[in-house]
A and B are shown apart, each in its own frame.
Chain A
Amino acid sequence: MRHLLSTKDLSREAAIRLLDIAEDMADVQNREVKKLPTLRGKTVVNLFFEDSTRTRISFEAAAKRLSADVINFSAKGSSVSKGESLKDTAQTLQAMGADGVVIRHQASGAPFTLATSGWIDAGVINAGDGMHEHPTQALLDAFTMRRRLHGAASRGKALDGVAVTIVGDILHSRVARSNVWLLNTLGAEVTLVAPPTLVPVDTSSWPVTVGYDLDAAIDDGVPDVLMMLRIQGERMHAAFFPSEREYARTWGLDDERLARLADDTIVMHPGPMNRGLEISAAAADSPRSTVREQVANGVSIRMAALYLLLAGEEEN
């Protein structure tokens, strides 16, 4: 694997292979010594143009557990805030000998541009670009679902027939997009539930069912997985919805809806959560919730991705 830019262009085989390697990585996390020597001598740069402590430290932990040297490059207070272009930043990293670049950028497509422009030789991992994709999040979500469903027998399995309902701000969500493509590739059946204002204007080519009614999705759809997305309160100022209260009442997973879920339905959230807005405290902390597992699994997935990008080269 040269780069990991999106789940849209990830084949079923490649996705399952990555999930399986993440299982191996997860096993390592249960050992007394969590560190592998695999990427010793390799340099991974976390190039973050957007603040995201959670994703950055997850990648940092993943790289360090593979013994890579990690450089954190945050746009704030760096030359980037002084107007340096993406191209010049990339060429600076190239000159410093970066083997892998983990990029988070507010512009959709920036990781693609970085990977295809010829500015840099390093492997590129998309850690979230604008409203486009966040592939490692979707992979860790799939990994989490697979583990909940199959436990120790997860290796080699896909998610065929699993009903996944994603609720919230689909329009602005790279997490939703990456999940839609990956879950479809893995055979899951995806339903999107959101206010009509927060669904892209045309999803006719998306492999999903779109609905506006969360209650119907819970009662009639009987999802295996209910994934709640973070809603930004500021969205109401652009008239996407009238108020946080109305949003929570209509599209939030409150205690009453939580009680109506089927026994084996799991509740997911990519974090950070707005407790009381899109998800109630009881839902977030219930045994159904995979929120903390998702964080732990994130490190395993990112180790697998870094391994495939950077250790795979030596095999060639």
Chain B
Amino acid sequence: MSESFLIAGATLPDGSRADLLIEDGTVVELGASVSATDATRVDADGLIALPGLVDLHTHLREPGYEQSETVLTGTRAAAAGGYTAVFAMANTSPVSDTAGVVEQVLSLGEAAGYATVRPIGAVTVGLGGEQLAELGAMAASRAQVRVFSDDGFCVSDPMLMRRALEYVKAFDGVIAQHAQEPRLTQGAQMNEGVLSGELGLAGWPAVAEESIIARDVLLAEHVGSRLHVCHVSTAGSVEVIRWAKSRGIRVTAEVTPHHLLLTEDLVRGYDARYKVNPPLRTRDDVEALREALVDGTIDIVATDHAPHPVEAKDTEWDAAANGMVGLESALSVVHAALVADGRLDWADVARVMSSKPAEIGSLAGYADGLVVGAPANLTLYDPEASRSFSTEDLAGKGVNSPYLGLELPGRVLHTFHQGRRTVADGTVVDVAEVARA
């Protein structure tokens, strides 16, 4: 029998105070004064108990890019950030475009134990954008893939996108589109605007994202399918999605923490830590994205956690890799961007970072949050803490965080994945202990 935990005096997302008893991977009791003599007591006074966070957009890099991240190190980063489930993007090597590869990723996640790993399947063979991957085989595999994406590349061929949207209806799948018109973004290095003109960096125009989203929502409407839009980054994209939702089109959308907090002005020093795709945008875009997350136009926050080895960023801007790590910092960034000024409360955070991403990804166990009978996936967060974010706060292989040296609120103190503790007192639990549990 696994270790039992009595979490005492936690504040639930709705603001009420409760004790939680965790046994055999399940929340078995929840109430004002729960007692259990043989359970490990965790004092949660002043801590917020959030349901385990779910990231619909994580790059775990394994197989193929183990110098950047592995399933083990990436899920350690997830645990450190309060996550208990991550959806692993398909741009591995080999690409996660067959049942064999997605089952391997699933198995690696199960062996590590830090978080539930749900592989995302590629839409097209080798992310090549030409031929559909075996979506059905991946869906029927032990990995039960429901989310498909060529992330990093856009499924730009409209015929192929239409077919993919139609095909996954057979198993209630969803296509997660990386919306980037390739011809409009050849060689693109940063947001196109007055600053790109000054810095002499090739522009990534907002219209390259917005035009693909506009096309895709119309395709989704036409064939009655489910579309998910990855990392929405512009005010115009928000308008298109708002329009689509008002028409009843089945579209969901995500925003990354960095697009909620950071702007293109950071590119001015050519520091490649701020190079990301889609690029950091303007202050107006950031404000529109915040509004959209508050009003529900954007459904969820997803990290786009993209670890890279040091040498991929320690270089001139053009040669640097796109991407930022984000799992460890996501909750604090959302806290800073939207909770601090009261536009989101903790129940909203639980929705946009846990139950809703799980729903989009067809992941069971997160629908009702922290209730008796639910799997014990949760994190205890100290909202009063504050820290100068540093590499000490990172738990994966990548140190390419844009927040290093920034003052961020809050801190994850404990994380439980299926009743097993993965973070204790702010420290990620030892690999062997988590795997053994």
Whole-angstrom CA separation of A203 from B192 in the bound complex: 11
> Given the complex, which residues of A lie within 8 Å of B269, measured CB to CB?
112, 116
Asked if residues A108 and B193 are in contact (CB atoms below 8 Å), the reply is no
Whole-angstrom CA separation of A40 from B314 in the bound complex: 34
Write the nearest CB–CB distance from B257 to chain A, whole angstroms: 25
Whole-angstrom CA separation of A201 from B195 in the bound complex: 10
> Given the complex, which residues of B lie within 8 Å of A113, measured CB to CB?
270, 315-317
Q: Does A104 contact B (CB under 8 A)?
A: no
With A85-B315, A109-B270, A113-B316: A131-B193 Cβ-Cβ less than 8 Å: no
Which one of A105, A106, A174, A202 lies within 8 Å of B197 (CB-CB)?
A202
**Which residues in chain B, 321-363, are within 8 Å of chain A measured between CB atoms?**
none
Asked if residues A130 and B200 are in contact (CB atoms below 8 Å), the reply is yes
Interface string of A52-95 (1 = CB under 8 A from B): 00000000000000000000000000000000011100000000
Number of chain A residues close to chain B: CB under 8 A: 29
Asked if residues B315 and A108 are in contact (CB atoms below 8 Å), the reply is no
Whole-angstrom CA separation of A23 from B269 in the bound complex: 33
> Given the complex, which residues of B lie within 8 Å of A177, measured CB to CB?
198, 200
Q: Does B435 contact A (CB under 8 A)?
A: no
Q: Does B431 contact A (CB under 8 A)?
A: no
Asked if residues B199 and A203 are in contact (CB atoms below 8 Å), the reply is no
Asked if residues A86 and B199 are in contact (CB atoms below 8 Å), the reply is no
Which one of B192, B270, B315, B316 lies within 8 Å of A201 (CB-CB)?
B192
**Which residues in chain A, 147-199, are within 8 Å of chain B measured between CB atoms?**
171, 174, 177
With A86-B315, A86-B316, A201-B193: A108-B205 Cβ-Cβ less than 8 Å: no
Which one of B193, B198, B317 lies within 8 Å of A8 (CB-CB)?
B198
Asked if residues B317 and A107 are in contact (CB atoms below 8 Å), the reply is yes
Asked if residues A201 and B200 are in contact (CB atoms below 8 Å), the reply is no
Interface string of A93-120 (1 = CB under 8 A from B): 0000000000001111110110011000
Asked if residues A202 and B200 are in contact (CB atoms below 8 Å), the reply is no
Asked if residues B318 and A201 are in contact (CB atoms below 8 Å), the reply is no
Which one of B193, B194, B203, B316 lies within 8 Å of A107 (CB-CB)?
B316
Asked if residues A200 and B196 are in contact (CB atoms below 8 Å), the reply is yes
Closest to A133 in B: B200
Q: Does A30 contact B (CB under 8 A)?
A: no
**Count class of interface residues, chain B:** 20 to 34
Q: Does A254 contact B (CB under 8 A)?
A: no
Asked if residues A203 and B197 are in contact (CB atoms below 8 Å), the reply is yes
Asked if residues B194 and A106 are in contact (CB atoms below 8 Å), the reply is no
> Given the complex, which residues of A lie within 8 Å of B315, measured CB to CB?
85-87, 113
Which one of A110, A117, A202 lies within 8 Å of B194 (CB-CB)?
A202
Write the nearest CB–CB distance from B194 to chain A, whole angstroms: 4
With A109-B270, A112-B269, A113-B270: A174-B200 Cβ-Cβ less than 8 Å: yes
Closest to A129 in B: B200
Whole-angstrom CA separation of A281 from B253 in the bound complex: 58
Write the nearest CB–CB distance from B196 to chain A, whole angstroms: 7
Asked if residues B319 and A109 are in contact (CB atoms below 8 Å), the reply is no
Q: Does A316 contact B (CB under 8 A)?
A: no
> Given the complex, which residues of B lie within 8 Å of A129, measured CB to CB?
200
> Given the complex, which residues of B lie within 8 Å of A130, measured CB to CB?
200-201, 318
> Given the complex, which residues of A lie within 8 Å of B319, measured CB to CB?
85-86, 107
Whole-angstrom CA separation of A204 from B311 in the bound complex: 36
Closest to A202 in B: B194
Asked if residues B311 and A85 are in contact (CB atoms below 8 Å), the reply is yes
Q: Does A269 contact B (CB under 8 A)?
A: no
Whole-angstrom CA separation of A222 from B256 in the bound complex: 52
Whole-angstrom CA separation of A21 from B200 in the bound complex: 29
Asked if residues B199 and A109 are in contact (CB atoms below 8 Å), the reply is yes
Write the nearest CB–CB distance from B360 to chain A, whole angstroms: 34
Spell out B's residues near A (CB within 8 Å). 189, 192-194, 196-203, 205, 269-270, 311, 314-319
A sample of 8 inter-chain contacts (CB < 8 A) reads A86-B316, A87-B314, A108-B200, A108-B270, A108-B318, A109-B199, A201-B205, A206-B194
Closest 10 CB pairs of A and B: A200-B197, A132-B200, A109-B270, A131-B200, A107-B318, A108-B200, A110-B316, A107-B316, A202-B194, A109-B317
Spell out A's residues near B (CB within 8 Å). 8, 85-87, 105-110, 112-113, 116-117, 129-133, 171, 174, 177, 200-206
**What 12 additional pairs, Cβ within 8 angstroms, besides A86-B319, A132-B200, A201-B197?**
A86-B316, A106-B318, A107-B316, A108-B200, A113-B315, A117-B314, A130-B201, A177-B200, A200-B196, A200-B197, A201-B193, A206-B198
